[in-house]
Amino acid sequence: MKFFVDTADIAEIQELASTGLLDGVTTNPSLIAKSGRQFLDVIAEICDIVDGPVSAEVAALDYETMLAEGKKLSKIADNVAVKVPLTWDGLKTCKALSDEGIMVNVTLCFSANQAMLAANAGATFISPFIGRLDDMNLEGMDLIHDIRQIYDNDPDVETAILAASIRTANHVKDSALAGADVATVPPAILKSLVQHPLTDKGIEAFMADWAKTGQKIL
Ligand code: E4P
């Protein structure tokens, strides 16, 4: 499973990209508002830092304006994935943009039927929102399982499942087990994935024993 980071915070993106383990970035209007920066500038800056797909979301709700916004966003850089909401106008925009070879991330997916429509519209990514379903006492992860099975039943589907609205480290692991192709993860959760108390304890013991040898590697 690939890892995207779900943020518009440039410092966080730079830090994670420097590991060489960051495959892409997703943003949304709320994350852009939180950054306090100009949308087009932030997306351009992120695209300079990360080689993988960078999702930039349209703001309009009607097809004509979404299409125009999507085309403008796609011109920022080759790795922009235009993000459109899962509505009929969004799907129509997805079809038009994907027919032109532009990557599209269809967002705000909460049902398997929506995911089927997005695949038929040529979406590069479908974004099922796990955490927001969990918030409603539903089992968000079931949606990832269902979409995986449905997509695997149709050899023509090329859409990648991008697990979104991830709130915990277990969401990341469970998304991978459910067959998600990508997880977009908030920076704090992404950084926490490396942590384990037994790793820390093991390093402490090895370092203490190494010091006793009096040796150096360099
Ligand atoms: C996905 O692309 C969205 O930006 C994001 O995952 C939404 O997460 P939230 O439900 O925590 O806002």
Radius of gyration of the chain (CA): 19
Q: How far is the CA of 153 from the centre of ligand 1 (A)?
A: 27
Pocket of ligand 1 contains residue 129 by CB under 6 Å? yes
State the Cα–Cα distance between residues 130 and 54, nearest whole angstrom. Answer: 20
Nearest CA residue ID for atom 6, ligand 1: 165
Q: Within 10 A of 98 (CB to CB), how many other CB atoms are there?
A: 19
Pocket residue to mutate for ligand 1, from 58, 129, 182, most atoms within 8 A of Cβ? 129
Residue 156 resides in a domain:
yes
pTM of the predicted model, to two decimals?
A: 0.97
Residue ranges in the chain modelled with pLDDT below 50: none
The catalytic residue positions are: 83
| 105 within ligand 1 shell (Cβ under 6 A) | no
Residue 161 near residue 2 (C-beta atoms within 8 A): no
107 lines ligand 1 (CB under 6 A): yes
Tally of CB atoms within 10 A around 21:
12
Q: What is the domain-level CATH number for residue 32?
A: 3.20.20.70
Is 58 within the bounds of a domain?
yes
User: Angle 88-99/112-120 helices, nearest 10 degrees?
Assistant: 30
Q: Is 127's C-beta closer than 6 angstroms to any atom of ligand 1? A: yes
Distance between CA atoms of 139 and 122, rounded to whole angstroms? 27
Is residue 196, in this structure, part of any structural domain at all? yes
Cα separation, 153 vs 149, in Å, equals 6
Q: How many domains does the chain have?
A: 1
Question: In whole numbers, what is the pLDDT of the chain averaged over residues?
Answer: 98
Is the distance from the beta carbon of residue 57 to the nearest atom of ligand 1 less than 6 Å? no
Judging by beta carbons within 10 Å of its beta carbon (0-12, 13-18, 19+), is residue 134 exposed, middle or buried? middle
Report the residue among 166, 184, 189, 190 best suited for mutation to probe ligand 1: largest number of ligand atoms under 8 A from its CB.
184
Round to whole Å and give the CA distance between 46 and 147: 29
| CA–CA dist 35, 180 (Å, integer) | 28
Is 108 part of a structural domain of the chain? Answer: yes
167 located within any domain: yes
In a domain, 218, yes or no: no
**Does 130 fall in a domain?**
yes
User: Among candidates 110, 107, 111, which has minimal Cα distance to 90?
Assistant: 107
- Domain extent, residue 44, equals 2-213
- Residue 62 placed within a domain: yes
